[in-house]
Structure 1
């Protein structure tokens, strides 16, 4: 897997932090809250509950698209727009263990990883 997609720019952002409940902000506003966060060393991501914004769908947000964190405000800032997140593949917990699901997500998010916010 592409390290840029699955790694935080600053490793201290997630170090010893529980990110569940943090608001996730894209260009254009909030996309939802962190429902769960990976603790894998090789690949890190957030699962975001979008609520009613995308009809209750969840999205995987790879660590590589995170451009900032405000732990005081409990907010994660990403490099993508709301429309780009909306167009992302749906997250299905039952499929996530399969490598092809992770590769599909990596391919979608790779152009946005490592970029600054629009």
Structure 2
């Protein structure tokens, strides 16, 4: 899968599991860390964990495992590093505090409504 296809799949998984405020930011031209950030919020620490669990499970089924998972214990901000895509799932207060959308404001915002739906 390309990095954009991976991001699309992640958006689809998060949407199916009722993640809130899903955003995709293309940061390929701004950093060597990754091509895309996918950001989403969960409604509780349990929801944050279930969102990240589902993304990890479904991508493993497709042969892609995260290189690293950070923050799972506290479930305030969980990051899954898939190399070309880094997924950030936040508890709402943590998302407002860290405000990655502002920090990466120079990145290209991808309209997720225009992304083709994944199966």
Length-normalised TM-score, structure 1: 0.31
